[in-house]
Amino acid sequence: MELEYKNKKTRRDFFKAAGIFTGGVLFATLLKPYKSLAYKLHEGETSNVWYGIGIDIEKCIGCGRCANACKNENDVPREPFYFRNWVEQYTIKNDGEVIVESPNGGIDGFTQSIPDEDIYKSFFVPKLCNHCYKSPCEQVCPVGATYRSPEGIILVDEEYCIGCRYCVQACPYGCRFIHPKKKVASKCTYCYHRVKKGLNPACMDACPTGARIFGNLRDKSGPLAEFLKEHNCHVLKPHLNTGSKLYYNGLNMEVK
């Protein structure tokens, strides 16, 4: 009886084989992330460039040229629901009601539908990616297709993004969308292709009033650092602690 059982393959053999197989797969899986870990160690933490944008709300006239320039420069679909950069018009009525509008992201300009005598105040707020230092979109990307460049710019690897849309959900500012043709996440890159050549982002050059200040936060004598020194600036949704690098001067509490 015993002999008969001895000849048969035992559970132990099976577990051995299964163990070797699983271990091998696990080991192979573990290697790749370590590669990126090693890369992260050498990542430009010592980089002396750390980009951000300041916006002087009082200077914004709502012409929408920034939004238009962005669409031209970055091949953003023309439809009125894909924007890397848009302008919002806030109208606060005497009775306290807040009306926000952004027809076609402000590209075609704005009209005021509220009669003058009912308006308490009105202003424009340009919006774009906050390039957060502790960015929720980068945190939630399951494959690491969203990453931060050494200059502090949040970018998407289009060849790598699986299109799960988790980052779109995680962005508190509504700055991401899924590109209808490429089926991957798309967002403001600060015109990385231009910045790398020493040019300004397209929206900066398009702004006729100088309401946008693009610059290196680590250059303490640079324009952005100067702007932040001279003005009391705020970021959007500070309670979310995203480490936003989009600073607004004269930000009203109604702006979310």
Residues in touch with another protein (CB under 8 A): 5, 8-11, 13-14, 29, 32-33, 36, 77-83, 86, 88, 98-102, 105, 127, 136, 138-144, 160-166, 168-178, 180, 182-184, 240, 256
Task: Report the residue number, 49 or 240, with the smaller CB distance to another protein.
Answer: 240
Residue 33: strand, helix, or coil: helix
Q: How far is the CB of 116 from another protein (least distance, A)?
A: 21
**253, 243 Cβ separation under 8 angstroms:** no
CA–CA dist 206, 182 (Å, integer): 27
Q: Per-residue DSSP letters for 58-69?
A: GG-----HHHHH
Q: How far is the CB of 237 from another protein (least distance, A)?
A: 8
Residue 179: strand, helix, or coil: coil
Q: How far is the CB of 130 from another protein (least distance, A)?
A: 12
Q: How far is the CB of 44 from another protein (least distance, A)?
A: 19
Task: Report the residue number, 76 or 213, with the smaller CB distance to another protein.
Answer: 76
**176, 187 Cβ separation under 8 angstroms:** yes
Of 189, 195, 244, 188, nearest to 216 by C-alpha is 195
Task: Report the residue number, 179 or 227, with the smaller CB distance to another protein.
Answer: 179
Task: Report the residue number, 102 or 249, with the smaller CB distance to another protein.
Answer: 102
Q: How far is the CB of 45 from another protein (least distance, A)?
A: 17
Of 141, 226, 214, nearest to 176 by C-alpha is 141
Residues facing residue 187 across a β-bridge:
none
| Identity of the residue numbered 21 | F
Instruction: Give, as one character, the DSSP assignment of residue 21.
Output: H
Q: How far is the CB of 100 from another protein (least distance, A)?
A: 4
Task: Report the residue number, 131 or 217, with the smaller CB distance to another protein.
Answer: 131
Task: Report the residue number, 188 or 228, with the smaller CB distance to another protein.
Answer: 188
**119, 93 Cβ separation under 8 angstroms:** yes
Residue 58: strand, helix, or coil: helix
Please give the structure tokens belonging to residue 203: 């929206």
